[in-house]
Protein backbone atom coordinates (compact mmCIF):
# COMPACT_ATOMS: atom_id res chain seq x y z
CA UNK A 1 0.00 0.00 0.00
CA UNK A 2 1.42 3.38 -0.93
CA UNK A 3 2.16 5.53 2.08
CA UNK A 4 0.77 9.06 2.19
CA UNK A 5 3.34 11.56 0.99
CA UNK A 6 3.98 14.04 3.77
CA UNK A 7 5.17 17.60 3.26
CA UNK A 8 8.58 16.58 4.59
CA UNK A 9 8.82 13.61 2.23
CA UNK A 10 7.71 15.76 -0.68
CA UNK A 11 10.37 18.32 0.08
CA UNK A 12 12.96 15.56 0.27
CA UNK A 13 11.86 14.30 -3.13
CA UNK A 14 12.68 17.60 -4.80
CA UNK A 15 16.12 18.64 -5.90
CA UNK A 16 17.31 22.13 -6.69
CA UNK A 17 20.73 22.56 -8.28
CA UNK A 18 22.67 25.80 -8.08
CA UNK A 19 23.26 27.17 -11.59
CA UNK A 20 26.80 26.73 -12.83
CA UNK A 21 28.54 29.09 -15.16
CA UNK A 22 26.50 32.06 -13.94
CA UNK A 23 28.45 35.24 -13.29
CA UNK A 24 27.39 35.40 -9.64
CA UNK A 25 28.41 31.79 -9.10
CA UNK A 26 31.99 32.38 -10.15
CA UNK A 27 34.02 29.72 -11.95
CA UNK A 28 32.23 26.55 -12.96
CA UNK A 29 32.98 23.66 -10.58
CA UNK A 30 35.19 20.94 -12.01
CA UNK A 31 32.58 18.31 -11.26
CA UNK A 32 28.89 18.08 -10.38
CA UNK A 33 28.48 18.19 -6.62
CA UNK A 34 26.69 15.62 -4.51
CA UNK A 35 26.44 12.74 -6.99
CA UNK A 36 25.93 9.54 -5.00
CA UNK A 37 26.53 7.00 -7.79
CA UNK A 38 29.47 4.63 -7.42
CA UNK A 39 30.15 4.89 -11.14
CA UNK A 40 29.00 7.57 -13.59
CA UNK A 41 29.74 9.25 -16.88
CA UNK A 42 28.49 12.34 -18.71
CA UNK A 43 29.07 12.80 -22.44
CA UNK A 44 28.34 15.75 -24.71
CA UNK A 45 27.35 14.06 -27.96
CA UNK A 46 27.24 17.38 -29.82
CA UNK A 47 30.77 18.38 -28.83
CA UNK A 48 31.93 14.72 -28.90
CA UNK A 49 33.64 14.81 -25.54
CA UNK A 50 33.36 13.33 -22.06
CA UNK A 51 32.38 16.09 -19.64
CA UNK A 52 32.85 14.18 -16.40
CA UNK A 53 33.39 10.61 -15.22
CA UNK A 54 33.79 8.50 -12.10
CA UNK A 55 34.98 4.87 -11.94
CA UNK A 56 33.84 4.29 -15.52
CA UNK A 57 35.83 1.07 -15.88
CA UNK A 58 34.40 -0.59 -12.77
CA UNK A 59 32.58 -3.81 -13.71
CA UNK A 60 29.08 -3.95 -12.23
CA UNK A 61 25.64 -5.46 -12.90
CA UNK A 62 23.00 -2.97 -14.06
CA UNK A 63 19.71 -4.80 -13.60
CA UNK A 64 17.02 -4.08 -16.16
CA UNK A 65 19.34 -1.92 -18.24
CA UNK A 66 20.28 -5.29 -19.80
CA UNK A 67 16.92 -5.04 -21.56
CA UNK A 68 18.31 -2.31 -23.81
CA UNK A 69 20.67 -4.83 -25.41
CA UNK A 70 17.85 -7.37 -25.73
CA UNK A 71 15.65 -4.74 -27.37
CA UNK A 72 18.34 -4.09 -29.96
CA UNK A 73 18.60 -7.81 -30.70
CA UNK A 74 14.85 -7.82 -31.35
CA UNK A 75 14.96 -4.67 -33.46
CA UNK A 76 17.88 -5.95 -35.51
CA UNK A 77 15.85 -8.98 -36.61
CA UNK A 78 12.60 -7.06 -36.95
CA UNK A 79 9.30 -8.83 -37.66
CA UNK A 80 7.68 -6.77 -34.92
CA UNK A 81 4.17 -7.72 -36.02
CA UNK A 82 4.81 -11.42 -35.36
CA UNK A 83 2.54 -12.89 -32.69
CA UNK A 84 3.90 -14.42 -29.49
CA UNK A 85 1.94 -16.53 -27.01
CA UNK A 86 2.55 -15.86 -23.33
CA UNK A 87 3.63 -18.99 -21.43
CA UNK A 88 3.15 -19.85 -17.77
CA UNK A 89 6.90 -19.95 -17.21
CA UNK A 90 7.13 -16.23 -18.05
CA UNK A 91 4.79 -15.46 -15.17
CA UNK A 92 6.59 -17.94 -12.91
CA UNK A 93 9.89 -16.20 -13.72
CA UNK A 94 8.78 -12.79 -12.48
CA UNK A 95 6.97 -14.29 -9.51
CA UNK A 96 10.05 -16.27 -8.44
CA UNK A 97 12.39 -13.29 -8.80
CA UNK A 98 9.95 -10.61 -7.65
CA UNK A 99 10.92 -8.89 -10.90
CA UNK A 100 9.26 -5.88 -12.48
CA UNK A 101 6.60 -7.13 -14.84
CA UNK A 102 3.69 -6.26 -17.10
CA UNK A 103 1.37 -8.85 -15.52
CA UNK A 104 0.99 -10.69 -18.81
CA UNK A 105 -1.58 -13.47 -18.69
CA UNK A 106 -0.49 -16.99 -19.77
CA UNK A 107 -2.22 -18.02 -22.98
CA UNK A 108 -2.64 -14.45 -24.17
CA UNK A 109 -1.20 -13.40 -27.53
CA UNK A 110 0.67 -10.16 -28.21
CA UNK A 111 2.89 -8.88 -31.00
CA UNK A 112 6.64 -8.53 -30.64
CA UNK A 113 6.15 -4.76 -30.91
CA UNK A 114 3.75 -4.76 -27.95
CA UNK A 115 6.12 -6.90 -25.91
CA UNK A 116 8.96 -4.52 -26.75
CA UNK A 117 6.83 -1.68 -25.41
CA UNK A 118 5.99 -3.66 -22.27
CA UNK A 119 9.67 -4.44 -21.71
CA UNK A 120 10.97 -0.90 -22.20
CA UNK A 121 8.14 1.19 -20.72
CA UNK A 122 6.99 -1.04 -17.84
CA UNK A 123 10.36 -2.87 -17.66
CA UNK A 124 8.44 -6.13 -17.81
CA UNK A 125 10.66 -9.16 -17.28
CA UNK A 126 7.79 -11.37 -18.40
CA UNK A 127 7.81 -9.53 -21.74
CA UNK A 128 11.61 -9.81 -21.83
CA UNK A 129 11.45 -13.59 -21.35
CA UNK A 130 8.90 -13.91 -24.16
CA UNK A 131 11.08 -11.87 -26.51
CA UNK A 132 14.30 -13.64 -25.52
CA UNK A 133 12.76 -17.01 -26.35
CA UNK A 134 11.18 -15.81 -29.58
CA UNK A 135 14.33 -14.07 -30.85
CA UNK A 136 16.97 -16.37 -29.37
CA UNK A 137 16.62 -18.95 -32.11
CA UNK A 138 17.05 -22.62 -31.22
CA UNK A 139 18.98 -21.59 -28.13
CA UNK A 140 15.97 -19.87 -26.58
CA UNK A 141 16.82 -17.17 -24.04
CA UNK A 142 20.43 -18.41 -23.94
CA UNK A 143 20.58 -17.77 -27.66
CA UNK A 144 19.31 -14.24 -27.05
CA UNK A 145 22.08 -13.69 -24.50
CA UNK A 146 24.64 -14.87 -27.05
CA UNK A 147 23.28 -12.29 -29.49
CA UNK A 148 23.41 -9.61 -26.81
CA UNK A 149 27.08 -10.42 -26.25
CA UNK A 150 27.74 -10.36 -29.99
CA UNK A 151 26.21 -6.88 -30.11
CA UNK A 152 28.37 -5.76 -27.18
CA UNK A 153 31.48 -7.01 -28.99
CA UNK A 154 30.45 -5.20 -32.18
CA UNK A 155 30.01 -1.93 -30.24
CA UNK A 156 33.41 -2.26 -28.59
CA UNK A 157 31.95 -2.92 -25.14
CA UNK A 158 35.07 -4.75 -23.98
CA UNK A 159 34.09 -4.91 -20.31
CA UNK A 160 30.59 -6.26 -20.77
CA UNK A 161 29.27 -9.79 -20.45
CA UNK A 162 25.56 -10.54 -20.54
CA UNK A 163 24.67 -13.59 -18.46
CA UNK A 164 21.08 -12.44 -17.94
CA UNK A 165 18.64 -11.37 -20.65
CA UNK A 166 16.62 -9.18 -18.27
CA UNK A 167 19.16 -8.20 -15.63
CA UNK A 168 18.19 -10.60 -12.85
CA UNK A 169 21.28 -11.48 -10.75
CA UNK A 170 23.47 -14.01 -12.56
CA UNK A 171 27.07 -15.09 -12.08
CA UNK A 172 29.36 -13.36 -14.55
CA UNK A 173 26.85 -10.70 -15.59
CA UNK A 174 28.58 -7.32 -15.70
CA UNK A 175 29.23 -4.14 -17.62
CA UNK A 176 30.65 -0.64 -17.03
CA UNK A 177 29.40 2.92 -17.22
CA UNK A 178 31.67 3.53 -20.21
CA UNK A 179 30.23 0.53 -22.05
CA UNK A 180 26.66 1.48 -21.20
CA UNK A 181 27.28 4.91 -22.70
CA UNK A 182 28.23 3.24 -25.98
CA UNK A 183 25.07 1.13 -25.83
CA UNK A 184 22.84 4.11 -25.06
CA UNK A 185 24.19 6.18 -27.95
CA UNK A 186 23.75 3.28 -30.36
CA UNK A 187 20.25 2.45 -29.13
CA UNK A 188 18.93 5.98 -29.51
CA UNK A 189 19.79 5.94 -33.22
CA UNK A 190 16.94 3.48 -33.70
CA UNK A 191 13.71 5.43 -34.22
CA UNK A 192 11.47 2.69 -32.85
CA UNK A 193 13.55 2.34 -29.70
CA UNK A 194 13.84 6.09 -29.11
CA UNK A 195 10.08 6.56 -29.52
CA UNK A 196 9.29 3.84 -26.98
CA UNK A 197 11.68 4.99 -24.25
CA UNK A 198 10.27 8.51 -24.23
CA UNK A 199 6.73 7.18 -23.72
CA UNK A 200 5.23 7.88 -20.28
CA UNK A 201 2.18 5.66 -20.55
CA UNK A 202 0.52 3.45 -23.11
CA UNK A 203 -2.21 0.84 -23.19
CA UNK A 204 -1.60 -2.23 -25.30
CA UNK A 205 -4.42 -4.60 -26.23
CA UNK A 206 -3.81 -8.30 -26.83
CA UNK A 207 -5.31 -10.43 -29.58
CA UNK A 208 -7.94 -11.58 -27.06
CA UNK A 209 -8.90 -8.01 -26.21
CA UNK A 210 -7.17 -7.86 -22.82
CA UNK A 211 -5.82 -4.42 -22.01
CA UNK A 212 -2.43 -3.90 -20.38
CA UNK A 213 -1.73 -0.36 -19.12
CA UNK A 214 2.00 0.44 -19.18
CA UNK A 215 3.67 3.14 -17.08
CA UNK A 216 7.27 4.31 -17.28
CA UNK A 217 9.72 3.91 -14.39
CA UNK A 218 11.57 7.01 -15.61
CA UNK A 219 10.45 9.74 -13.21
CA UNK A 220 12.28 12.45 -15.16
CA UNK A 221 9.75 12.28 -17.99
CA UNK A 222 7.00 14.88 -17.69
CA UNK A 223 3.70 13.38 -16.62
CA UNK A 224 5.18 10.35 -14.84
CA UNK A 225 4.56 9.33 -11.25
CA UNK A 226 1.68 9.98 -8.85
CA UNK A 227 -1.35 11.45 -10.60
CA UNK A 228 0.91 11.89 -13.62
CA UNK A 229 2.04 15.25 -12.23
CA UNK A 230 5.83 14.90 -12.17
CA UNK A 231 7.36 17.98 -13.77
CA UNK A 232 10.10 16.07 -15.54
CA UNK A 233 13.51 17.37 -16.52
CA UNK A 234 13.33 19.80 -19.47
CA UNK A 235 14.83 18.26 -22.57
CA UNK A 236 15.19 14.73 -21.19
CA UNK A 237 13.81 12.06 -23.52
CA UNK A 238 14.92 8.63 -22.27
CA UNK A 239 16.16 6.07 -21.71
CA UNK A 240 16.18 3.17 -19.13
CA UNK A 241 16.26 2.36 -15.45
CA UNK A 242 17.73 -0.71 -13.77
CA UNK A 243 17.32 -2.01 -10.22
CA UNK A 244 18.20 -5.22 -8.38
CA UNK A 245 19.66 -5.97 -4.97
CA UNK A 246 23.09 -6.58 -6.47
CA UNK A 247 23.04 -3.80 -9.07
CA UNK A 248 21.52 -1.15 -6.84
CA UNK A 249 19.74 1.76 -8.53
CA UNK A 250 20.95 2.56 -12.06
CA UNK A 251 19.88 4.86 -14.89
CA UNK A 252 21.03 5.70 -18.41
CA UNK A 253 19.69 8.94 -19.85
CA UNK A 254 19.81 11.49 -22.64
CA UNK A 255 18.71 15.11 -22.80
CA UNK A 256 18.91 17.99 -25.24
CA UNK A 257 19.14 21.62 -24.12
CA UNK A 258 21.02 24.65 -25.41
CA UNK A 259 21.54 22.85 -28.75
CA UNK A 260 23.60 20.15 -27.04
CA UNK A 261 22.67 16.49 -26.66
CA UNK A 262 24.10 15.03 -23.47
CA UNK A 263 24.14 11.33 -22.54
CA UNK A 264 24.82 9.98 -19.09
CA UNK A 265 24.93 6.86 -16.97
CA UNK A 266 24.74 6.46 -13.19
CA UNK A 267 25.39 3.06 -11.61
CA UNK A 268 24.60 2.11 -8.02
CA UNK A 269 23.21 5.41 -6.83
CA UNK A 270 22.30 5.50 -3.15
CA UNK A 271 18.57 4.94 -3.77
CA UNK A 272 15.90 4.75 -6.45
CA UNK A 273 15.19 8.44 -6.03
CA UNK A 274 18.88 9.34 -5.80
CA UNK A 275 19.60 8.03 -9.32
CA UNK A 276 17.26 10.71 -10.69
CA UNK A 277 18.65 13.34 -8.34
CA UNK A 278 22.15 12.40 -9.53
CA UNK A 279 20.96 12.82 -13.11
CA UNK A 280 19.57 16.30 -12.45
CA UNK A 281 22.77 17.37 -10.73
CA UNK A 282 24.89 16.10 -13.60
CA UNK A 283 22.77 17.63 -16.35
CA UNK A 284 22.40 20.98 -14.59
CA UNK A 285 26.17 21.06 -14.13
CA UNK A 286 26.63 20.30 -17.83
CA UNK A 287 24.11 22.88 -19.03
CA UNK A 288 24.75 25.56 -16.41
CA UNK A 289 21.10 25.53 -15.36
CA UNK A 290 19.02 25.40 -12.20
CA UNK A 291 16.18 22.90 -12.28
CA UNK A 292 13.63 21.85 -9.69
CA UNK A 293 11.87 18.55 -10.33
CA UNK A 294 9.33 16.45 -8.44
CA UNK A 295 10.08 12.77 -8.08
CA UNK A 296 6.92 11.09 -6.86
CA UNK A 297 6.69 7.42 -7.89
CA UNK A 298 3.47 5.96 -9.21
CA UNK A 299 1.22 3.96 -6.92
CA UNK A 300 1.11 0.17 -7.35
CA UNK A 301 -1.45 -0.86 -9.95
CA UNK A 302 -3.16 -4.03 -11.16
CA UNK A 303 -2.42 -4.70 -14.80
CA UNK A 304 -3.54 -7.08 -17.46
CA UNK A 305 -6.99 -7.64 -15.98
- Residue 115 sits at φ, ψ, to 5 deg, of -70, -35
- The strand pair at 211-215 and 39-44 is best described as unpaired
Per-residue model confidence as pLDDT tens digits over 114-172: 999 999 999 999 999 999 999 999 899 999 999 999 999 999 999 999 999 999 999 99
Does residue 294 contact residue 13 with C-beta atoms inside 8 Å? yes
Q: What is the pLDDT of residues 192-218, one digit of tens each?
A: 999 999 999 999 999 999 999 999 999
User: Structural domains in the chain?
Assistant: 18-293 (3.40.710.10)
* The model's pTM: 0.89
For residue 239, cis peptide bond before it (omega within 30 degrees of 0) = yes
Flag whether pLDDT at 179 surpasses 80: yes
Report whether pLDDT(302) > 60: no
Handedness of CA 154, 157, 163, 166 (dihedral sign): negative
* pLDDT tens figures, 251-287: 999 999 999 999 999 999 999 999 999 999 999 999 9
**Alpha-helix residue ranges (DSSP H) falling in 44-167:** 66-77, 88-97, 112-121, 125-135, 140-154
**What three-state secondary structure class fits 89?**
helix
DSSP, collapsed to helix, strand or coil, labels residue 254 as strand
Amino acid sequence: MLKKVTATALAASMITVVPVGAAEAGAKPKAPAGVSATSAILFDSTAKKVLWKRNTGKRMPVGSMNKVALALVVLQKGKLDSKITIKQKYKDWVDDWGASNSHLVPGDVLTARQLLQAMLIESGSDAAYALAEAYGGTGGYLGAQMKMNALAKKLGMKNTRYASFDGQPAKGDYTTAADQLKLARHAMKNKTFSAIVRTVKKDIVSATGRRYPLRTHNLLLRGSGINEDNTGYPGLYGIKTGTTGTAGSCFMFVARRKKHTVYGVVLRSSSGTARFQDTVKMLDWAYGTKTTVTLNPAAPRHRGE
